[in-house]
Structure 1
Amino acid sequence: MRGCRKMADTAPSENFDYIIVGAGSAGCVVAARLSEDPNVNVLLLEAGGKDDHVYLKMPVAFLKAVPDPRFNWPYMTEPEPHLNNRQMPLPRGKVMGGSSSINGMFAMRGHHRDYDQWAQMGARGWSYSEVLPYFKKLENSWRGEGPYHGADGPMQVRPIESPLLHHEPLMEAAEGAGFHTSDDLAGRKQDGFARGEMTVDDRGRRVSASTAYLNPAKGRRNLEIRSGVLVRKMAFEGKRCVGVEIDTPDGPRVIRARREVVISGGTYNSPHLLMLSGIGPAEHLREMGVEVLHDSPGVGQNLQEHANVSMEWFAKSPVTFLNQLRWDKLAVNAVKWALFGKGSLALQLNSCNVVIKTRENLDRPDIQFMANPIRFDAETWFPFLKPGQEHVFWAGLVALHPDSRGWVRLKSKDPQDVASVTLNLMAEESDLATMRAAIRAARKIYNTAPQSKLIGEERMPGINVDSDAELDAFIRETCYVAMHPTSTCAMGMGERSVVDPELKVIGVEGLRIADCSVMPTVPGGNTGLPAVMVGEKCADLIKGQSLPAAEEAASQAA
């Protein structure tokens, strides 16, 4: 019967109260929080494998983990129409913990106006005062308990501190360059030059959603975690989601959910699963040979990503982190890290987190500099055998609030085919203008004392690349992704909303989404902690409860 969507499985089905698809930044949270109730049983499914490799534990090794195909979905953009038809890799964690197991561990939330904008767009319950309690709930901050921070949450957050990272020269350059500093970008003053923070524990190990939420929950008898399981699509009876269809050696099989299914596949995989299940733009689904269950034109649309452009300066003297990559120092620090969680390998290599406005009339920062005292292509070196590279300071310039929008579509109805992704970066002139302003601001900052005492000639793009046209050409040729995709199953989009403010998929029953795809707009910062926040809030929504809003703290944020 077409209306019932005949199940693929003829054997007796397994049954759980809740099924969570995807053990990523939000999925781990939802599974762990729901299983706190001993009266329900929860199944968490992950297509990837275990997160026990050293690259997923050692902080500085994230540079190795990000491109490693063992831990990633094989996503690549389609030829980008406004970036000279370049195709770019799109690292997304295919492992327990998802992208929280491979990312740069940067702990940021974005600006308070980002979340107030969500509420103004129609995402009721997602204003800054309403999400702040969930940011506090997830956090075990080095700052301790306070109006903006939590001390008892699963995600440990520590400052990035080391004399190797040259933090002070950038902080001291702020005022001279016409900017200011902040003691806490998650506190009252949410822009400026600040010390970066990272999700690394006291033993020098990465804190992911898997280590923070799943590891303490693994002993619960009512939580079952399965890795290496590909979900083909959602199973429906009429318009009610009753489970998931998975791949097995014996063919597709259905696992049933008595209460709800929560998709936490991420910004690319969640719309992909919806479309494979017949929920999406009807015309596109028919073109792909997928039977339409519910015409939802917003599925896969509204894709946003932080564009990133690199700048580099030659160092005046050999003082960068490249010194730590000499093979003997690397070996000593590997032992320090393994035994004591100390040394240079326990770091995130950020000198200073610079979050600023390029125009005074803006209501929040529009660019972020990820300032790093090491070249982007740094390699291990061996005296006399493999000489070290030239010392270089690098900054990644991030456009925080893009106007350009991309899309996610099916390549086919085969679940083994990953989705087609077009980011459509730099489609809007305003995004090019923002990035040009970022490059000019970076030049001003790096050429202001005392930072200017460390750098010599601009290596990339080079000081002669200066006109708007020259900078635009450089941006289109070199722009890449910050790995912060959002908004392909967004709430608060009117007729194109995919989920409602309770994260329920509109047009069907028994199905929610919890990941960055539900965000109406991309937050102005790294999306790791916001994804965990979505998981925390989703679990409470399922339980029918909510933390009280933090009105007083929200009113004092600037």
Structure 2
Amino acid sequence: MDECDYVIVGAGSAGCVLANRLSEDPKVSVLVLEAGGKDNSIFMKIPLAWRQIWRGPKFNWNYATEPERFLDGRRLSLPRGKVLGGSSSINGMLYVRGHPRDYDLWRQSGCEGWSYADVLPYFKRAEGSWRGEGDYHGGAGPLGVSPTDVSNLNFGLIRDTAIAAGIPMTDDFSGAQPEGFGIVDLTIKNGVRSSASAVYLRPALKRANLTVKIGALTERVLIEKGRATGVTYVANGKRVSVRARREVILCGGSYNSPQLLLLSGIGPADEVAEHGITPVHELPAVGKNLSEHVVFHIQFAIKQPITFLSRLRADRVALSVLQWALFRKGDFATQALTALAFVRSRPDVERPDIQLFFNSTRMDAKVWFPGITPPQQHMLEGYPSINYPESRGELRLRSADPRDPPRIRLNFLGTEGDRETARECIRLVRRIYNTPPLGLLIERETSPGAEVVSDADLDAFVRRTAEVGHHPVGTCAMGTGPAAVVDPQLRVRGLQGLRVVDASVMPTVPGGNTNGPTIMIAERAADLIAGKTLLAPASSAVR
């Protein structure tokens, strides 16, 4: 295919949605270019096997930051899916939309049409929730959403502790009460990962007007007289140019979409020119405004062998795998995350600014063989995340070669406000985990250790251990001013025929996980691109 109506670059969460929705019209032709390969690994289907995929190089871009200035010069690993489905094929499957206020603030910053009332109908259109159709959830959408099976995760113990610690309860983080403690929803249906490629792309492949090319690395967007006319890509060692009669749509994510714009001469002219690329269109904000959740582990040794590590005894694992293979049920059909809590670091903050993961075992838990390899020490972890970081990073080109990874700096904990919130995260986790009944079972705090109490020591611990939450956004931010890359219709400012549709357009990171919001953005973008009447905003009574 050397000409089509729409060229979609990237078959990740957003690209798969657009491929499905745009190809619903048999009068248009759609080409999807994906640099990665097929999503045919069995580990992608088995929910509990997700850590086996994102660690390896086969389905991962294997990006890393530059040495982080505020983290003792450490380089942080940045797993991103390089496969059909993108990161939705390798992620932890949490379905958490964020706080309604997150989207109202987008609207207030100039992103007309992206308030909570505007986006809720698109969240619902995407979702096939176990809760069924309602004010906050969709029951018939492609994206399967199920609750975590907490039967083997000490849920009652953790819940009773959270209540004793004064945390309110909620039964739906995406409903009327997004704040508090509760069981998390997962993008799983009938015991199988509900990736964007599985639920959006695969059902559409039978359409004659949709073509998907894997192993196709897009090198640049072609610009003629202020309009994107197509792209150049390499597949099987051959360079190919394809023309787009209507639009080129970048869906590469928060790292690859800005990289491709810069490779195409779109961005800060001085940065582009220093790599020998001819500047085509000045857009200073391309690659800037990078925002990401910073997370870290607080670890506790527990007196009794009651953690999920007991479920990782080799014979039990074998039985669980068989149970999944036969019935799509059991330990391997869910996540090993006991619960989440969204809480405030202090009473005067507007929204819950901390997301706390209650892990049912240590993050490095391994299968063990009785009599051969002893089990690791039983531990529980509190895993806090700063929901609304002040620090901003950036992405720049490393070279003019599209195969070279970009230079990424997150600038984690670059403000005193972020450092203060990080300290409050640690103090919060300690207070909860030392509250009975759980507190009676804690043997000791192993990381950072109960002796680490001063601000200076807490800061040093965070510098040594902070990691990414895998939710990068903002590098092609939506808005109206000079800090924006795309307008509220997701069109690249100052050019025709070119849009960006992925997490990079989020002006700020939501206080939750980003896969669900990315899919929502693509659902709404599909209507914008096709010129359809947008779904009516939700009632103002639904908050």
Report TM bin, short chain. Answer: over 0.9
Out of 380, 395, 404, the position equivalent to 1:417 is 404
Match of 1:520 among 485, 507, 510: 507
Partner of 2:439: 452
CA deviation vs aligned residue, 1:422-467 (integer Å, no higher than 9, x gap) = 0110111111111111111111111122222443211111111111
Q: 58, 66, 82: which one pairs with 2:54?
A: 66
Which of 459, 483, 496 is the matching residue for 2:470? Answer: 483
User: Of residues 67, 77, 86 in structure 1, which corresponds to 2:74?
Assistant: 86
Aligned residue among 440, 446, 466 for 2:453: 466
Q: 1:245 aligns with which of 218, 223, 232?
A: 232
Q: 1:492 aligns with which of 479, 489, 498?
A: 479
CA distance in 2, matches of 1:147, 1:81: 45
> For 1:323-472, what aligned pairs fall within 5 Å after superposition?
323-472=310-459
Kept in 2, the 8 Å contact 1:537–1:546? The answer is: no
Distance 2:339 2:533 in 1: 35
Deviation string 1:93-133 (CA, Å, 9 cap, x unpaired) is: 00000000000000110000000010111111000000000
Following the alignment from structure 2 to structure 1, what is the Cα–Cα distance between the partners of residues 304 and 480? 52
Percent identity (aligned)? 49
Name 1:48's counterpart in structure 2. Answer: 36
Partners of 2:535 and 2:239 in 1: CA distance: 44
How high is the TM-score relative to the length of structure 2? 0.98
Q: Tell me the C-alpha RMSD between the 2 structures.
A: 1.2
Q: What pairs up with 1:106-125 in 2 under 5 angstroms?
A: 106-125=94-113
The CA distance in 2 between the partners of 1:61 and 1:506, in whole Å, is 41
Aligned equivalent of 1:504: 491
- SS of structure 2 residue aligned to 1:268: helix
- Alpha carbons of 1:250 and 1:143: their partners in 2 closer, same or farther (altered >3 Å)? closer
Q: Determine whether 1:200 maps to 2:188.
A: yes
**Where do residues 184-195 of structure 1 align in structure 2 (5 Å cutoff)?**
184-195=172-183
Which SS does the other structure have where 1:171 is aligned? helix
Q: Say if 2:292 is the partner of 1:287.
A: no
Out of 269, 293, 296, the residue aligned to residue 256 of structure 2 is: 269
Counterpart position of 1:19: 7
Task: Give the letter for the 2:58 counterpart.
Answer: R
Q: Distance in 2 between matches of 1:272 and 1:353?
A: 34
**Residue identity opposite 1:178 in structure 2:** G
1:145 to 133, 141, 159: 133
Counterparts of 1:249 and 1:369 in 2: how far apart (Å)? 45
Distance 1:508 1:556 in 2: 37
Shift of the alpha carbon at 1:284?
0.6
CA-to-aligned-CA distance 1:304-334 (integer Å, 9 cap, x gap): 0000010111112001111111111111111
3-state secondary structure, aligned to 1:70: coil
- 1:330 and 1:383 mapped to 2: Cα distance? 12
Q: Deviations over 1:229-277 (max 9, x none)?
A: 0000111212111111011446422011110010000000000000000
Tell me, yes or no, if the aligned pair for 2:215 and 2:236 is still in contact at 8 Å: no
Q: Distance in 2 between matches of 1:333 and 1:189?
A: 34
Structure-1 separation of matches of 2:371 and 2:352: 47
Question: Where do 4+ consecutive residues of structure 1 move more than 3 Å?
Answer: 248-251, 546-551
Q: What does residue range 119-198 of structure 1 map to in structure 2 within 5 Å?
A: 119-198=107-186
> CA offset at residue 528 of structure 1?
0.9
Q: Distance in 2 between matches of 1:492 and 1:397?
A: 30
User: Which residue does the alignment assign to 1:37?
Assistant: 25
Structure 2 CA distance for aligned equivalents of residues 40 and 282 of structure 1: 35
Deviation by residue 1:13-71 (Cα, 9 ceiling, x = unmatched): 71111010000010100110000011111111100001110121111111111111001
Contact 1:20 1:27 in 2 (8 A): yes
Q: Distance in 2 between matches of 1:412 and 1:346?
A: 43
Asked if the contact 2:528/2:534 (under 8 Å) is kept, the reply is no
Seen in structure 2, the aligned counterparts of structure 1 residues 422 and 493 have a Cα distance that, compared at 3 Å, is farther
d(CA) in 1 for partners of 2:482, 2:23? 34
Q: How many angstroms apart in 2 are the aligned matches of 1:330 and 1:403?
A: 42
**Structure-2 separation of matches of 1:175 and 1:165:** 17
Q: Is 1:209 the equivalent of 2:231?
A: no
Alignment pair present for 1:256 and 2:243: yes
**Which secondary structure does the structure 1 equivalent of 2:79 belong to?**
coil
